[in-house]
């Protein structure tokens, strides 16, 4: 899996926040992020921030890309989850453990 730096604007502070994430699936120039927080029952802060402001920056291999993030549809999630788990098996455990639906986020180039 590749790793990226995700930069999002804080929903309350308006300050750019940065977090390192893995990208288990890439397709057609889009990146898939998993809002798992290690199987916690709460959504990660970066996820809540991008819901409020979906325009994000992603730094991958030193290149900065402006992208628009969106939550995968139910159909997309059904198709993508097997690929996500194939890339990193613990995601399946996170899904079983969480008392919430773990969202997949698709970041698309703008």
pLDDT score recorded for residue 24: 96
Q: How many domains does the chain have?
A: 1
pLDDT score recorded for residue 83: 97
| Phi, psi torsion values for 52, nearest 5 degrees | -80, -30
For residue 34, list its beta bridge partners: 104
- Tell me the residue range of the domain where 47 lies: 2-109
pLDDT score recorded for residue 91: 96
pLDDT score recorded for residue 62: 95
Q: What is the CATH number of the domain that holds 51?
A: 2.30.110.10
Q: Which residue has the tokens 């549809």?
A: 73
Q: Say if CB 9 and CB 68 are below 8 A apart.
A: no
Global confidence as pTM:
0.94
pLDDT score recorded for residue 110: 84
Residues of the chain with pLDDT under 50: none
């Amino acid at each position: 899996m590749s790793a990226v730096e995700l930069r999002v604007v804080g929903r309350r502070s308006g300050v750019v926040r940065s977090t390192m994430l893995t990208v288990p699936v890439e397709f057609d120039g889009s990146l898939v992020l998993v809002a798992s927080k290690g199987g916690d029952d709460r959504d990660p802060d970066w996820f809540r921030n991008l819901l409020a402001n979906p325009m994000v920056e992603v730094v991958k291999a030193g290149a900065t890309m402006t992208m628009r993030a969106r939550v995968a549809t139910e159909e997309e999630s059904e198709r993508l989850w097997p690929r996500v788990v194939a890339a990193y098996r613990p995601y399946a455990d996170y899904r079983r453990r969480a008392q919430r639906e773990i969202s997949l986020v698709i970041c698309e180039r703008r």
